[in-house]
Chains A and B, each alone.
Chain A
Amino acid sequence: MHQAIEVLLQAIPYLIGGAGLTIVAVVGGMGLGLIIGLPMAVAQVYGPAPLRAAAGLYVWFFRGVPILVLLFLFYFGLFQLFQWNIGALTAATVVLGMTSGAYQSQIFRGAILSLARGQFRAASALGLSDRQAIRCIVLPQALRLSLPGWSNEYSILLKDSALAFVLGATEIMARTQFVATRTYQHLALSLAACGIYFILTWVGVRALRALERRVAVPGFGNQEAR
């Protein structure tokens, strides 16, 4: 018992350093996912047939393959093949981002499809171009409606990020393993990792909840956010 506490006290700053890398991977992954997912959702709803098909194929692929397989496929396979020499953490961030893009596109697409169709026509009738109608009317509403789904996606991605350790990224899970195999304090260290993930989930979800409240519009969307 004594020993476990001693190991923990020494290991925790090291694990928290790993949390920094986890945060980089998750925030980077969410950001990349947004950059990929939002245009793809717009393309799937408003785009011409070939673009819709391409987006559909992308979503089908990234939703159909386990993240672990994707990590291997890209890091040891495709990135090597194209001689793209990036670190394990960057690679994990890119793969998480591409995967999240597929899921996020479906969150945004669902939100866009749930909007009242007539508003787009009203915007057109005022002389707005399709582009302007999407930017000024569709997206501000769809993004608000997407926030609960986005917060869910954050908590999933955070947990998926633990897989980055298989590439050798020294995030929370890799550091937990590293200390545990040397000190044999598996239980204590795993519990510490649990605690860190739990705190990261809680903080992120709370922050997104606060954002949701900040941008809330009376009578629009998720009422209980108020």
Chain B
Amino acid sequence: MTQSPILEVEGLCKALGGKPILSGVSFSVRKGEMKVLIGPSGGGKSTLLQCLNFLHVPDAGVVRLAGQAVDPRQRKPLYAYRQKVGMIFQDYNLFDHLNALDNVSLALRKVKKLSRAEAEGRARAELARVGLADKEKLYPAELSGGQKQRVSIARALAMDPQVMLLDEPTAALDPELIGEVLTVIRELARSGMTMIMATHQMGFVRSMADEILFMQEGRVIEQGTPEMLLDIESGSRTLDFCSHLAEFESGGAE
């Protein structure tokens, strides 16, 4: 893996409500890599992910995609950048008035300017990829949590993103639905998608993460492979945190 990074983050800072939430976060991601964000609640994982596609505009710092710095003040390039960086939210955020097919095809028509027929063709292919080919006519209220999250993944994939940001995609799901979503994400990783994902599904992290970033109080305080950070001997903060997680999360789908 000697290629140059696809996404570089340098010195990202963000304050919200007068309180520093991110204090100089830097890292870089290579193509096809899976980075996992772990850390205590309020550590800044969601804020970091939202800064990465400028849903929050960082106060300082640079984000570069394929070597190109993003200037959030320039609308057109910002919208173009956001197409290349897909985002998955904890609570899905499907469009409530549109069925699954329209949820996936809307941005293809409005942003990528495809015709309705082209957009729907592509949307059907993405729905099939997440195993929902037969659900295209259903509205969000008619889908289970796991199905909603898979529609939201299909919606992001339809834009042909180069990087995907996932903010605790299984945290709002009943335990028996977590597996179906993680399976889709695992497939995605195998197909070579670059991903940055906040999650506390430790089984998934151990088997899939190329690198763990442990975040606390707005900083990355530990960084390394699961083998390094989760080794019983490592004495890492990450291991300490995760063993506390395991105490009340014994069981679950992973």
Interface residues of A (CB under 8 A from B): 116, 118-119, 121-129, 132, 136-137, 140-141, 144, 217-220
Once the chains are docked, how many angstroms separate the CA of A126 from the CA of B93?
12
Once the chains are docked, how many angstroms separate the CA of A7 from the CA of B107?
64
Q: Is the CB of B139 within 8 A of A121?
A: no
Q: How far does the Cβ of B75 sit from chain A's closest Cβ, in whole Å? A: 7
Please give me the residue from chain B that is nearest to A121 by CB atom: B55
Please give me the residue from chain B that is nearest to A118 by CB atom: B93
Q: Which residues of B contact A144 (CB under 8 A)?
A: 97
Asked whether A116 and B93 contact (CB < 8 A) given A125-B53, A220-B141, the answer is yes
Please give me the residue from chain A that is nearest to B109 by CB atom: A136
Given contacts A141-B97, A217-B96, 11 further A-B contacts (CB under 8 A): A118-B93, A124-B82, A125-B55, A126-B83, A126-B155, A127-B159, A128-B110, A129-B75, A141-B96, A144-B97, A220-B97
- B80 interface hit (Cβ, 8 Å): yes
Select the residue from B53, B85, B96, B155 with max chain A CB neighbours within 10 A.
B96
- B156 interface hit (Cβ, 8 Å): yes
- B241 interface hit (Cβ, 8 Å): no
| CB-CB nearest 7 A-B residue pairs | A219-B141, A122-B93, A118-B93, A125-B87, A127-B83, A126-B107, A127-B82
Q: Which residues of A contact B96 (CB under 8 A)?
A: 116, 119, 141, 217, 219-220
Once the chains are docked, how many angstroms separate the CA of A58 from the CA of B95?
32
22 contacts between A and B (CB under 8 A): A116-B96, A119-B94, A121-B50, A121-B89, A122-B95, A123-B107, A124-B55, A125-B55, A125-B85, A126-B156, A127-B80, A127-B159, A128-B110, A128-B111, A129-B79, A137-B97, A141-B96, A141-B97, A217-B97, A218-B141, A219-B140, A220-B139
Q: Is the CB of B139 within 8 A of A136?
A: no
Please give me the residue from chain A that is nearest to B155 by CB atom: A126
Interface string of B122-149 (1 = CB under 8 A from A): 0000000000000000011110000000
CB < 8 Å neighbour of A122 from B87, B110, B139, B142: B87
Q: How far does the Cβ of B163 sit from chain A's closest Cβ, in whole Å? A: 12
Please give me the residue from chain A that is nearest to B138 by CB atom: A218
Q: How far does the Cβ of B224 sit from chain A's closest Cβ, in whole Å? A: 29
Q: Which residues of A contact B75 (CB under 8 A)?
A: 129
Q: Is the CB of A127 within 8 A of B93?
A: no
- B91 interface hit (Cβ, 8 Å): yes
Q: Is the CB of B111 within 8 A of A126?
A: yes
Please give me the residue from chain B that is nearest to A132 by CB atom: B110
Asked whether A122 and B89 contact (CB < 8 A) given A218-B139, A219-B141, A219-B142, the answer is yes
Once the chains are docked, how many angstroms separate the CA of A107 from the CA of B163?
40
CB < 8 Å neighbour of A218 from B50, B85, B95, B142: B142
Select the residue from A116, A127, A128 with max chain B CB neighbours within 10 A.
A127
Please give me the residue from chain A that is nearest to B84 by CB atom: A127
Q: Which residues of B contact A136 (CB under 8 A)?
A: 106, 110
Once the chains are docked, how many angstroms separate the CA of A60 from the CA of B85?
43
User: Which residues of chain B (35-55) have a CB below 8 Å from chain A?
Assistant: 50, 53, 55
Interface string of B91-120 (1 = CB under 8 A from A): 101111100000000110011000000000
Q: Which residues of A contact B218 (CB under 8 A)?
A: none
Select the residue from B79, B91, B142 with max chain A CB neighbours within 10 A.
B79
Q: Is the CB of A217 within 8 A of B139?
A: yes
Q: Which residues of A contact B111 (CB under 8 A)?
A: 126-128, 132
Once the chains are docked, how many angstroms separate the CA of A111 from the CA of B14?
31
Once the chains are docked, how many angstroms separate the CA of A126 from the CA of B91?
16
Please give me the residue from chain B that is nearest to A141 by CB atom: B97
Q: Is the CB of B95 within 8 A of A125?
A: no
Q: Is the CB of B80 within 8 A of A121?
A: no
Q: How far does the Cβ of B49 sit from chain A's closest Cβ, in whole Å? A: 10
Q: Which residues of A contact B55 (CB under 8 A)?
A: 121, 124-125
- B169 interface hit (Cβ, 8 Å): no
